[in-house]
Amino acid sequence: MSDNKIPHYDCGTLLLKITTTKLSKAQKRWRVACWALYSFQAMLSLMQKSKNNSEKLHNHCYVALDLQPSISHDEVKDVVPNSIDPNVDGKKLTEMGKNRDLDSLRLLGGIEGVATALGTNPENGVNGNNEDISKRIQLFGSNTYNKPPPKGFIYFVMDAFKDTTILILLACAALALGFGIKEHGVEEGWLEGGSIFVAVFRVVVVSALSNYRQETQFDKLSKISNNIKVEVVRDAHRQPISIFELVVGDVVFLKVGDQIPADGLFLNGYSLQVDESSMTGESDHVEVDSEKNPFLFSGSKASDGCAQMLVVSVGMNTQWGEMMSSISSDSNERTPLQARLDKLTSSIGKAGLTVAFLVLVVMLARYFTGNTKDENGIKEYTGSGTDLDDVFNSVVHIVAAAVTIVVVAIPEGLPLAVTLTLAYSMKRMMRDQAMVRKLSACETMGSATVICTDKTGTLTLNEMKVTKFWLGQEPIEEESYNVVASDIRELFFQAVGLTTTGSVSKPVSGSVPEFSGSPTEKAILSWAVQELGMDMEKVKKRYTILQFDTFNSAKKRSGVSIRNKADNTIHVHWKGDAEMILTMCSYYYESNGMIKDMKKDERSKMENIIHGMAASSLRCIAFAHKQISKEELEYNEDGKAQQKLKEDGLTFLGIIGLKDPCRPGAKKAVEICKSAGVDIKMITGDNVFTAKAIATECGILDLNHQAETGVVVEGIEFRNYTNEERMEKVEKIRVMARSSPFDKLLMVQCLKQKGHVVAVTGDGTNDAPALKEADVGLSMGIQGTEVAKESSDIVILDDNFTSVATVLRWGRCVYNNIQKFIQFQLTVNVAALVINFIAAVSAGEVPLTAVQLLWVNLIMDTLGALALGTGRPTDELMKDPPIGRTEPLITNIMWRNLLAQSLYQIAILLTLQFKGESIFSVTPEVNDTLIFNTFVLCQVFNEFNARKLEKQNVFKGIHKNQLFLGIVGITIVLQVVMVQFLRKFADTEKLNWKRWLICTAIAAVSWPIGWVVKLIPVSEKPFFSYLNKSKLVFIWLKKTVYHKKKASSSGLGMA
């Protein structure tokens, strides 16, 4: 259709075409309307009538465009083929919406006229076939926007070159390369400078590669996160689809907390309020209706009410699409742990620079004082007699040695290890039904000391079923539903069918109806249809809805006022929390339809019934009704047409009990968290009895807890405590029932003030403040609203508490993996720095050449990070207490392990440096190779020690970590190649099998040393706290001495 140009008709031609062309009724009416509109506009321009007349004409135009064929449920098949009118201008629709242009909307025939033009039936939606959808995408575009392309690999390479250390190393490499070639020629002179270039290149490439992978992973997660499910009606069937599949003409269902997926018009609904702060910056909620403000904008949030929306603009044609296409996501988020490691890296780098500077000073002093000799035993520097080129070359050689120390001292592997670990854990957590939205949540979750969890859908299956029914004070069994009087049954039909945001649709095949909505709504609708025999379509036809008050977590109820079309009587219905509904009632119904006064005794019986059902883990929903006169209609304070529903003097209809069984793995997950030292607190809107029953079933409460006071509280009780009382009692609370979102926020704030690291689950819009306030916000992927998801750090995709426990395991695993690598890396750093420093100061030369140290750097940085940073969570991690908020990154246990291994390596390598030639009767070149080979193999064996920080058995579960074994194997193979085949490059000599065995045996001693060292107990008090204490003592002594001196001097002055 888009390829054919639409011909221009004058009025006569248009009329001729309308009467002679074979068109559907809807298309003919649209064209008649367009002709009428054209005629009216022509008349207006010629006659230049007054504004009032103009408005009247507009009204007539509206009536003309409002002519639609009336559609019944049986005529759905005749309705669906409605096609898009070729005169529809998508750009004009877009501009009309953006400008909130009501006049243009009236000219187009109002909302109904636009719907007809777009080939949409407001009740049954668009034709859902592929041809119709493709045609709409072709005409109006898809609901996607053009995002800026993600940063490429080259961008991260260039970014890495901005690092000051890299620039210093490049300068050193250039100097070493130039003077090396000058001294030794091109064939051998390039090795030192070239090796530093290779090291720099490796650091840049690995860093850029890891950042690039992180960027692409964030891009993938962003696509998953943005793939919101929206409910539409197509071909008379209500169905969930991806937001990206939405097309112009779709009818979308909106409820509280939903993100508006495209620009559209309000078709129908009740009490809809929209938060447009993301678009306009205004915090006030905007009221949307069909008369004064029918315009809805993509990116906004439904903050109250419910509605159906007609989509008129999608994707790049929306204001949100234009805005989002210019925003690029920033994946360069620095987590708290990364920030701490950056600081640690900087400190180690400074220490390395200090050592390198000392080595430089010492070696230059030795050279210029004549304490260095060449290979022939002749002094290298003899004063003015020394050739200037020789002096220059010697100085360059010394500077190169110092530069090498800088290269090996800077632990660029630390940030790399964190990036690899976080990226790996994010990928694995996705498989375990947890989508990480903020990197910092991975590591923070490992420190969690308290988890505040919802009940419904998290600890329970969220598969509701009505199992109990009380009518007034009478229990009604399933087989006895026929005893319910017909007029009472009709009241239940009104209460269920007209206070719901769910729907019932009859399937094309099969006799079982399809129910949509929340699990609670579906369960109630299923009960009313299948047990009471409700026909939803007939109920809706018999009544007109006057006002609808939607359910939310604060009110815990929904209400409706309706007019009976047959007798014009007005009825008010309320449905919701049983205890809350009961307080609104003064009468109650019996099964025969009689109404009785609800006296104190009757009310008490009703309360006991509710408590008994709740104690059986049932969610209690009650219904109440009142018939009112037109005069009794209450209006809001501003006098608007919106009515305030009657909330007192109601008649109690009955109670239903919905069973929502606990998730099979919930109890075990709770036990795992408790054994890990993490407190579980259940916060629910249900009453105390239901909350206690579920908490006991899930293992949150035990018999001892039930006897204690203050373990189970209600939200209002917690809210009314003084600040001091709350702070005193908050840790003892295990269950908070009847809670509001504000109570949850209050609990999180109190726990954080007590020093806890708090994780919170939430699914509602009102949970957003608590999710943001918590250290880790966990939203629900299935039941969670878009507002809740955006406020959270991690989305639990299956709404299961077991997945929350899995996130806790991964959080601890991330922290543990990083600690392993830090211990491994610092061992190498300390050993290499001390060995080179002592050797340089005492002998005037370093035992490990630049190429060799850079090779060690490659092993410990890249391969070590891969080997130790990708460990999976183990059960042992969940037996340790939580990592505190202020816990030091390098613990006393890590200091003990790394110092023991470093001292062993220093002792062995210095022995080889000074006595190796005589012990093994080898040449200096072979001895240097033995030192290099032993040092590398020590790191390989120490890699095994680093797998377990505290456990003596470092081999447990090693067969499951194939990546670790593979990396160790690769390291050994590369070392063999380095020593045996790259002799000129690595400055090594070939070693026979006996010397390989000697090197291996010396390195293997690190295993028994690691085993013995772990028997040594260490203080729990951080190591550096002692240094701080001694520093304070020193300051105190200094001040004391100063004051004494001052006092004595003043005494002398007075004398």
Query: What is the pairing mode between strands 595-597 and 643-644?
Result: unpaired
Of the candidates 584, 777, 754, 761, the one whose C-alpha atom is nearest the C-alpha of residue 680 is: 761
697 φ, ψ to 5°? -65, -35
> Which residues have CB under 8 Å from 90's CB, separation 6+?
139, 140, 141, 248, 313, 317
Cβ-contact 843, 400 below 8 angstroms: no
Compute the distance between CA of residue 945 and CA of residue 953 in angstroms, rounded to an integer: 9
Of the candidates 855, 1000, 841, 835, the one whose C-alpha atom is nearest the C-alpha of residue 909 is: 835
Place of tokens 């001729």: 16
Which residue type sits at 416?
A: L
Cα distances from 397 to residues 172, 191, 844, in angstroms, run 11, 13, 11
Helix (H, G, I), strand (E, B) or coil at 502: coil
Cβ-contact 554, 522 below 8 angstroms: no
Compute the distance between CA of residue 841 and CA of residue 365 in angstroms, rounded to an integer: 10
Query: What is the pairing mode between strands 570-577 and 618-628?
Result: antiparallel
The reply to whether 250 belongs to the active site is no
Cβ-contact 880, 446 below 8 angstroms: no
Helix (H, G, I), strand (E, B) or coil at 679: strand
Compute the distance between CA of residue 108 and CA of residue 130 in angstroms, rounded to an integer: 28
SS (H, E, C) 197-225: HHHHHHHHHHHHHHHHHHHHHHHHHHHHH
Compute the distance between CA of residue 887 and CA of residue 894 in angstroms, rounded to an integer: 13
CA contacts within 13 A on the Cβ side of 506: 9
Helix (H) or strand (E) holding 311: strand 301-313
For residue 652, the tally of other CB atoms under 10 A from its CB is 28
Cα distances from 845 to residues 387, 810, 854, in angstroms, run 21, 46, 17
Query: What is the pairing mode between strands 229-234 and 237-242?
Result: antiparallel
Cβ-contact 881, 679 below 8 angstroms: no
- Can you give the length of the chain in residues? 1055
Q: What share of the chain is helix, strand, coil (3-state, %, to 5)?
A: 55, 15, 30
Helix (H, G, I), strand (E, B) or coil at 469: strand
Strand partners, 465: 659
For residue 361, the tally of other CB atoms under 10 A from its CB is 13
Helices (H), 876-992: 892-920, 924-945, 962-980, 983-986
Which residue type sits at 960?
A: K
Compute the distance between CA of residue 865 and CA of residue 821 in angstroms, rounded to an integer: 6
The catalytic position among 454, 743, 763, 793 is 454
Cα distances from 599 to residues 456, 591, 608, in angstroms, run 34, 18, 14
Cα distances from 949 to residues 174, 937, 952, in angstroms, run 41, 20, 8
Compute the distance between CA of residue 649 and CA of residue 624 in angstroms, rounded to an integer: 10
Helices (H), 730-800: 741-753, 768-773, 786-791
Positive or negative, the CA dihedral 500, 249, 238, 76 is positive
Of the candidates 729, 897, 703, the one whose C-alpha atom is nearest the C-alpha of residue 819 is: 897
- Which are the catalytic amino acids? 454
